[in-house]
Amino acid sequence: MSPPSPTPWIIAHRANGFGQRENTLAAFSAVPRELGVELDVWMTRDHVPVVHHDAHVRLADGTRHRITAVARTHLPDYVPTLAAALEALSGVQWINIEIKTTRATLTRLLDQLIRLDVCISSFSAHLLRQVRTAIPNADLALLAPPHAGPVAALRPARELGCTGLHIARTQLSPAWIRLIHEHGLALRVYTVNDVQGWALCRHLGVAGVFTDRPLAALDWLRGQSPGQ
Q: Please report which confidence band the pLDDT of residue 3 belongs to, taking 50, 70 and 90 as the band edges.
A: low
The third-level CATH classification (topology) of the domain covering 9-222 is TIM Barrel (3.20.20)
Residue 133, pLDDT score: 95
User: pTM for the whole thing?
Assistant: 0.92
Determine the average pLDDT of the residues in 3-11: 74
What is the rounded CA–CA span in Å between residue 60 and residue 188? 37
pLDDT tops 60 at residue 35? yes
Q: pLDDT value at position 206?
A: 96
The pLDDT of 33-46, averaged and rounded, is 95
Predicted local distance difference test score (pLDDT) of residue 6: 53
- The average pLDDT across 179-199 equals 96
Most distant CA pair in the chain, distance: 57
Please answer whether residues 162 and 187 qualify as being in contact, where contact means their C-beta atoms are separated by less than 8 angstroms.
no
Which SS3 state, helix, strand or coil, does residue 51 take?
A: strand
Distances from the Cα of 17 to the Cαs of 121, 140, 169, 210, in angstroms?
22, 25, 19, 11
- Residues 6 or more apart whose Cβ sits within 8 Å of residue 221: 6, 8, 10, 198, 202
Mean pLDDT, to the nearest integer, of 15-27? 97
Boundaries of every domain in the chain: 9-222
Share of the chain above pLDDT 90, in %: 83
